[in-house]
Amino acid sequence: MNLPTRSPAPHDAPDLPGWTHLYAGKVRDLYAPVAPHPDGDVVLVVASDRISAYDHVLPTPVPGKGVVLTQLSLWWFDQLSDLVPNHVVSLDVPAEVARRGMICRRLDMFGVECVARGYLTGSGLLEYRAGGSAGGSVCGVPLPAGLVDGSRLPAPIFTPATKAALGEHDENVSFEVVVGQIGADDAAHLRDLTLAVYARAEVIARGRGVILADTKLEFGRATEGPYAGAIVLGDEVLTPDSSRFWPADTWEPGRAQDSFDKQYVRDWLASPASGWDRAGEIPPPPLPDDVVARTQARYHEAYERLTGRPLG
């Protein structure tokens, strides 16, 4: 994976023997091996318990969240292995980050957020509504009139976005913009892989009583190893941080849906109880214990519903 300029380690990033901290994202920390690694050019990817909302990393962690993200990603990588290779090469990580760390091959990452939508909500809904009563489009894909929040689309669509810097918004773009950035062949390959992953995951999730409304994927090209030259699935995959999961038994178009993600956090921050002005300059306040507990429970429930097994 491409790495930004080295950033200071956050207070919750552990010092790991044999590894040097390289970069802190909103949730993940990346480490490089101090000595040459037997698996080649690799990084250690550690999912922390940090949680972000409205482009801010919040001061309150959600205990165990990093374990859920890593273990669920690993489970999904297995479900998708015949569709696309992934960047994981080893789980032989330091004990301090067991179950939330994975050693991954570095990739030449594409500067595109690959988003598949099967349902209309979020930024897609806002873009669609801008088209007025005659119906609108999302990322240049025309959609029929009369759709509402939570509507199932006639068919899943590929709605890419440009990757933004930390603290900034990704920007939805058309497929033609992606072609201009990375070329027609790679753009088509990313679109086809994204929709294939969504189709596989949507069927699996639905069979477990969960609707996969949309998901965001990241891909890169491997430069060495068994998949050298191939497009490889990187980062996390199909977690509550990168996807919208809804309980199928409560789905009702025309309203905001129940969800297995950090919606409790967003709702509290947007409520008068938080006292926070999203448009202001002051960062968000600490989360109350009940919001943390409810969010933690939803992440665990997502893992257990999807995999059919307890997190342990």
Sequence spans of domains, the chain = 19-108, 110-268
- pLDDT value for 10: 63
122 CB neighbour count, 10 Å cutoff: 14
94-135 pLDDT per residue, tens: 999 999 999 999 999 999 999 999 999 999 999 999 987 666
165 CB neighbour count, 10 Å cutoff: 7
CA-based nearest residue to 177, from 166, 194, 190: 190
Q: Alpha-carbon distance 61 to 296, whole Å?
A: 10
- pLDDT value for 1: 52
DSSP letter at 71 equals H
The residue written with tokens 């810097």 in the block is 165
pTM of the complete model: 0.93
Q: What superfamily would CATH give domain 19-108? A: Phosphorylase Kinase; domain 1 (3.30.200.20)
- pLDDT value for 264: 87
Backbone angles phi, psi at 266, to 5 degrees: -60, -45
Instruction: Report whether 138 contacts 128 (CB < 8 A).
Output: yes
Tokens describing residue 111: 């500067």
CATH topology of domain 110-268: D-amino Acid Aminotransferase; Chain A, domain 1 (3.30.470)
Distances (CA, A) of 242 to 62, 81, 216, 271: 16, 19, 5, 24
Q: Alpha-carbon distance 118 to 138, whole Å?
A: 12
Amino acid at 189: H
Q: What are the residue ranges in the chain where pLDDT is below 70?
A: 1-11, 133-135, 164-169
CA-based nearest residue to 150, from 284, 244, 223, 70: 244
- pLDDT value for 5: 45
